[in-house]
Structure 1
Amino acid sequence: MSVEVRVPTLGESVTEATVATWFKKPGDTVAVDEMLCELETDKVTVEVPSPAAGVLGEIVAAEGETVGVDALLATLNEEGNAGPEEVAPRHHSEMMEDKPAAAGAAATVDVMVPTLGESVTEATVATWFKAVGDSVAADEMLCELETDKVSVEVPAPAAGVLTAILAAEGATVAAGGKLAEMSAGAGAVAAAPAPAAAPAAPAGDKDIENAPSANKLMAEKGINPASVSGTGKDGRIMKEDVLKAMTSAPAGTPAPVAAPRAPVAADDAAREERVKMTKLRQTIAKRLKESQNTAAMLTTYNEVDMTEVMALRNQYKDQFEKKHGVRLGFMSFFTKACVHALKEVPEVNAEIDGTDIVYKNYVHMGVAAGTPQGLVVPVIRDADSMSFAEIEKAIAEKGRRARDGKLSMAEMQGGTFTISNGGVYGSLMSSPILNPPQSGILGMHKIQDRPMAINGQVVIRPMMYLALSYDHRIVDGKGAVTFLVRVKEALEDPRRLLMDL
């Protein structure tokens, strides 16, 4: 059977790429996930793995051609359909046969790193739930991996016994790498438990070829490959790795190191605990600092009287939950109010791309959520076309998946504006940091009874401070203040939302 090799998703806003190098030619046998070719975009280099084992047929897009997302690159004659002399070897010689194992026989099954998501090439082994010698059921969780965006659970590919762990906790593994081995089938026998092995060097290191574009750039700039950390498959050096190394340090000089810690007394050092930052925490730190370095960030403040929203919520919350099966919270009111304000001040819902301003005629609302692993921002897509009930259901579902570490990369991409509710933790006032490349983020805070002067009388009202951080490169002060005032007006008189006023 012929299998099509197509251009993978290239990343947000990237629509085309150039075919840089073909590593295989027609007639070559290839294993599943073996690299076929390399594409270059204006942002990253993308490797295209073989979708199946077999023989490469026709190359449709030659080197140097420009191709769009999902364009046909080549055809592949899948294993078992390529003729007796052309069948490609299995991806791993010890992979379990497609047919059931013979009675009394046990097959070795490899436990591989699953697809980690767009642009994610490596992960850290966080926790092994099983030890060598343990019996496991098919689809039972073996271990958990951490990437810079999400946590990924790895299920057992078959029922059997875990016989070897090749990547210990704390090891960094590449997408498609080998984590462990299992013995599956009627003859599977529990082996004597053995300590987890240290991360093994990728098999055949001597055969790992760096990306041609990377080799060319290193040769031009006189960079020693040993000084470049490769992020490609099995540690392969990609072009962007070289560019990153060039940015971080001049060629031939050691990479800069962090400023040394201040001296610590011996008795204090004994009471300290050093824990390596998770991939997620490293990414949070990097992105927040990038945001401060890139955007001209400014924050404007206001306050909102929550009396009317609270009264409306108390009046209808029981009926709402009975009909829609979800609680009526404040987040749907704030989402609706922000959507309403974004229509009037569209630059808060836009982003800068080079020298262009990209206005979004839709609202993909990011809702910041705190998790045990750190802050994540799942995105409610097309929030501007959703009802109160649909928004509440989406927020509840995304929040639950965030806490369980089940969010995919796709669920955290493409946001156009963000709401962050620090009030649930008791925050009275804060200045939220932008979530790049977005131009605005609204900070909600604690509702607190305060004495207010209304119509010449001092009355107690439930008040909340609001903070809008915005990118002053694209949003002027007038626009930011107008946005915040419109949010305040919509919340203090929720009927305005129904009247679109």
Structure 2
Amino acid sequence: MVDIRVPTLGESVTEATIGQWLKREGDQVAADEPLVELETDKVSVEVNAPAAGVLSKIAAQEGETVELDALLGTIGEGDGAGANGAGDEGGGINAASDTPSAAAAPGGAGEVKASEEADGEEVEITAPSSGESVSEADIGEWLVKVGDYVKVDDPVVSLETDKAAVDVPAPVSGVLKEIKAEEGATVSVGDVLGIITSGEAAGESKPQETAKPKADNQTQTDLSTLSPAPRRIVEQNGLDASQIAGSGRGGRVTKGDALAALEGVGSQPAKAKAPAPSAPRELGEREERVKMSRLRQTIAKRLKESQDIAAQLTTFNDVDMTAVMSVRSQYKELFEKKHGVKLGFMGFFVKAAIQALREVPEVNAEIDGTDIIYKNHYDIGIAVGTEKGLVVPVVRDADQKGLAEIEKEIGDYGRRARDGDLKLEEMQGGTFTITNGGVYGSLMSTPILNMPQSGILGMHRIEKRPIAVGDEIKIRPMMYLALSYDHRIVDGKGAVTFLVRIKENLEDPQRLLLDL
């Protein structure tokens, strides 16, 4: 047996959500064949089979949140049962749903599949395993009522754990006879949640389906193709699944796509129900309480961990951009004609930062336990904003590259980041980060460290301001610079010196050519 485990997902990424299994239990798989898609707050990642064989067990279901090195499933020897489940008679696999049958008994010859239950038989809905180290869950919401008709594999109840929200499907088609665990109750793995009376005769006309207009039926059809994580977001917030563009494999809608659609809806003014003329307006009508998404919880957790671990401090300076803007204006056409890329500001900042890092090496270092690791290479991370969040691809060995090569690489990273085509290895191993809030109009900020790095440079918008030049007042294009640093390893003198060197190199770009 060979374990399938969660791989390393990039710096500061410690967990992911199971997006979609591409294979089913009993399927034959080849070595390096994609098995399952993982979704993080940055990218979607396919996990490949570590060996050839049969997918004998799926340990983490779609929608679950898993940590690094968590067990996803196992691969065993054999030829497999085939995609159509022809060999399921000895394996306890439901041919209709490809999940272990609720009524199947171990053995083979005498087992009964859920789809073959006798009409009128009562079948229990039990709490499934929600992943390693998760032994209990809360009943989040019952999706059907007692007396409602459900089809096999229809979601009937939602469970919430500290890692993920999981929909529990109906083990058979029939009528929900009884709810054993009410909303808000805490249940353990294997507890009975409810009872379904199997059979079609009990009620084929589901009230919700007959009452819905045709337009809603189309949305419901689209919902059925979603994996549990994005489906829950769509259902809870009343989104139209057919209007969400999918960025996943084969156009599949991911959790990030659903969250992006939700943010778009949230930016529109809410239509509040007008109170009766004689009734006073209640405060609750002007407020809305929405549960924080798991993605946002993860982002908040990591940012707080960065502040908790490092002794973060920010120092500021400003830089006169006249010289850089003059060089750029004078040579931009010739530069683009020769190198095939526009001459921007980021190349100058990368080069200036490298010169400063050489003089103040502790800003390019990191702490590992009681040791300090000084980096004699300069892999500069460039923060890129996308619709799904901020990603930081790395320009490796930037000290060995010219302006044209740096600008080309940054431009390529920016395009692929917005298209969701960055690779994990392209976002790992940075020694220092530069972030440009000026593209959004920021005048000044205090960026948070990208752990385990010890420094991050914040650029801001260029704004014409009056400054003293000699004994005269001049109007110059000025930019505020911010350096956030880890005070455990970088002293105030080093941080200030670092920013002064960047200021000097940008205000006199010839210093970069002369290596001063």
Q: TM-score, normalised by structure 2?
A: 0.51
Q: How does 1:201-350 map to 2 (within 5 A)?
A: 267-273=282-288, 277-350=292-365
- Which digits, 9 at most, give the CA deviation of each residue in 1:21-80, with x for residues without a partner? xxxxxxxx996499xxxxxxxxxxxx9965221699xxxxxxxxxxxxxxxxxxx9997x
The answer to whether residue 425 in structure 2 is matched with residue 434 in structure 1 is no
Cα distance in structure 1, aligned partners of 2:381 and 2:156: 35
Residue 80 (structure 2) aligned to one of 68, 89, 113? 89
Residue 501 (structure 2) aligned to one of 486, 492, 499? 486
Q: How does 1:127-146 map to 2 (within 5 A)?
A: none
Cα distance in structure 2, aligned partners of 1:284 and 1:278: 10
- Which digits, 9 at most, give the CA deviation of each residue in 1:354-385, with x for residues without a partner? 01111111122111222222222222222222
Q: How far off its partner does 1:300 sit?
A: 1.0
Give SS of 2:467's match.
strand
Give SS of 2:407's match.
helix
Cα distance in structure 2, aligned partners of 1:404 and 1:332: 23
The answer to whether residue 373 in structure 2 is matched with residue 358 in structure 1 is yes
- Which digits, 9 at most, give the CA deviation of each residue in 1:430-470, with x for residues without a partner? 11111111100111111111122112121111111111110
Question: Larger C-alpha radius of gyration, 1 or 2?
Answer: 2
Distance 1:167 1:471, change over 3 A: farther
**Hey, what does 2:63 align to over in structure 1?**
none
Aligned CA RMSD, in angstroms, stands at 4.6
Cα distance in structure 2, aligned partners of 1:469 and 1:55: 48
Distance 1:268 1:364, change over 3 A: farther
Cα distance in structure 1, aligned partners of 2:291 and 2:372: 39
Worse-matched range after superposition: 468-477 or 318-327: 318-327
Give SS of 2:450's match.
coil
Q: How far off its partner does 1:307 sit?
A: 0.7
Cα distance in structure 2, aligned partners of 1:440 and 1:274: 37
**Hey, what does 1:51 align to over in structure 2?**
51
Contact preservation (8 Å) 1:166, 1:196? no
Contact preservation (8 Å) 1:167, 1:198? no
Cα distance in structure 2, aligned partners of 1:358 and 1:91: 52
**Hey, what does 1:372 align to over in structure 2?**
387
Contact preservation (8 Å) 2:381, 2:394? yes
Distance 1:500 1:417, change over 3 A: same
Contiguous gaps of at least 5 residues in structure 1: 14-28, 35-46, 57-75, 80-86, 96-107, 111-163, 175-191, 202-264
Contiguous gaps of at least 5 residues in structure 2: 12-25, 32-46, 57-73, 87-95, 99-152, 165-219, 230-279
**Hey, what does 1:386 align to over in structure 2?**
401
Q: How far off its partner does 1:413 sit?
A: 1.9
Q: How far off its partner does 1:325 sit?
A: 2.1
Q: How far off its partner does 1:483 sit?
A: 0.8
Q: Percent identity?
A: 59
Residue 468 (structure 2) aligned to one of 440, 446, 453? 453
Distance 1:373 1:171, change over 3 A: farther
Distance 1:169 1:416, change over 3 A: farther
| One-letter identity of the residue aligned with 1:294 | I
| One-letter identity of the residue aligned with 2:79 | A
Contact preservation (8 Å) 1:367, 1:380? yes
Contact preservation (8 Å) 2:460, 2:479? yes
Distance 1:48 1:332, change over 3 A: closer
Contact preservation (8 Å) 2:29, 2:55? no
Contact preservation (8 Å) 1:371, 1:403? yes
Cα distance in structure 2, aligned partners of 1:277 and 1:499: 52
Contact preservation (8 Å) 1:365, 1:417? yes
Q: How far off its partner does 1:298 sit?
A: 0.8
Q: How far off its partner does 1:308 sit?
A: 0.5
Give SS of 1:362's match.
coil
Contact preservation (8 Å) 1:167, 1:199? no
Distance 1:291 1:200, change over 3 A: closer
- Which digits, 9 at most, give the CA deviation of each residue in 1:69-107, with x for residues without a partner? xxxxxxx9997xxxxxxx431475549xxxxxxxxxxxx
Contact preservation (8 Å) 1:442, 1:468? yes
| One-letter identity of the residue aligned with 2:354 | V
